Amino acid sequence: MTEFYRLLKSGSKSALWATVVNTIVALIKTAAYLITGNVAMFAEMMHSFGDAANQLFVYIGSALSKKAPTEKFPGGFGRLVNLVLLGAVLIVGVLAYETIIEGFHHISAPTHSENWFWLNIGVLGAAAVLEASVLVKAMKEITEHLPAEKVKGWKIIPESYKNVKNAKPATKLVFLEDNVAVGGALLALVAILVARYTSFHSATGYASIIIGCLLILVVGRVFLDNAAGALGVADVKLQAKIGAHVLQHPQVKDIQDLDVIKEGEDLHVELRLEVDPEMKIKVADDIRDHIEANIKKSIANVTDVIIEFDEDDRIPTWAGPAE
């Protein structure tokens, strides 16, 4: 149990914060929906519960993935976060379906009520602000490796979108879900205003369907990313970067093979290098230590670097990774 609590401390902070915030928001929206019966509020309630459940899974999965390798699992637990996320998206998928169905019901039989207008507006406004705070935290985690001047003030917004593809799995999920959360809250606000001040009383139903569809897009993106992560996806850009760097070493003649595999938040690097066949073991060992140290220094989250040596066949092999 002590180890479990220690691992929890290493879990994704943005996912933990998102879990707390979205649970509070979901309970507020639930109370508002039970009082008002507003279908847009129902969609937002379902969305927030889905976010809270998903991000709780993410937090626990990201923490347990840091567990050290054991005799039974010598490869470690890096892919656990991907497996947990694959399960978590099922919950969001079900909630998205229910949200869309509820929207269709409201369109087929629209209702209009003057009651509780300001309660709905207040709840959704507060939800948008709270969820925006989670989104900002995720943005900061995505851009934490960038120079301070590139993410100063409003610059953090475009930079976070540019770099989200390179974010850790947990942070990427929080970022994607809270984009929908903030956008969904604002959309529901607009729908309630339209239904109040025009004859288009089914606007909240259409808003519910749009929110549900956005959730499905998040489910699809997260599923594809984490299915690839669970299988062990290659990072082609890092392969090219490491290959170019390794070939700068004067005693490395060629690269027969180079793999950079993502496992959750971890990166595993495997190299097979061609060197002078007359090279002594001590020199080869020094080269191994030098290359491993440089890779770990220049690239975050590299957990191990496996390097094999072969004799130089004088035939160029490395032309970069295959796309």
What confidence score (pLDDT) does residue 285 get? 92
Task: Tell me the per-residue pLDDT of 126-161, one tens digit each, with 9 for 90 and over.
Answer: 888 988 998 998 899 899 888 888 888 888 999 999
Q: Does domain 234-311 have CATH number 3.30.2130.10?
A: no
Alpha-carbon span 205 to 106, nearest angstrom? 5
Q: Which residues of the chain have pLDDT under 50?
A: none
Instruction: Residue 132: name the closest of 86, 167, 191, 179 by CA.
Output: 179
Domain segments of the chain as ranges: 2-231, 234-311
Give start and end residues of each alpha helix (H) in the chain.
Answer: 2-9, 13-36, 39-64, 80-108, 117-142, 156-163, 169-197, 203-231, 236-246, 281-298
What pLDDT, on the 0 to 100 scale, is given for residue 2? 72
301 phi, psi to nearest 5 deg: 70, 15
| Structure-block tokens of residue 236 | 């082609």
Q: Which CATH architecture has domain 2-231?
A: Up-down Bundle (1.20)
Rounded CA gap, 84 and 61, in Å? 6
pTM of structure: 0.69
Q: What's at 84, amino acid-wise?
A: V
CB atoms under 10 Å from CB of 229, counted, come to 22
Separation between Cα atoms, residue 45 and residue 9, nearest integer Å: 29
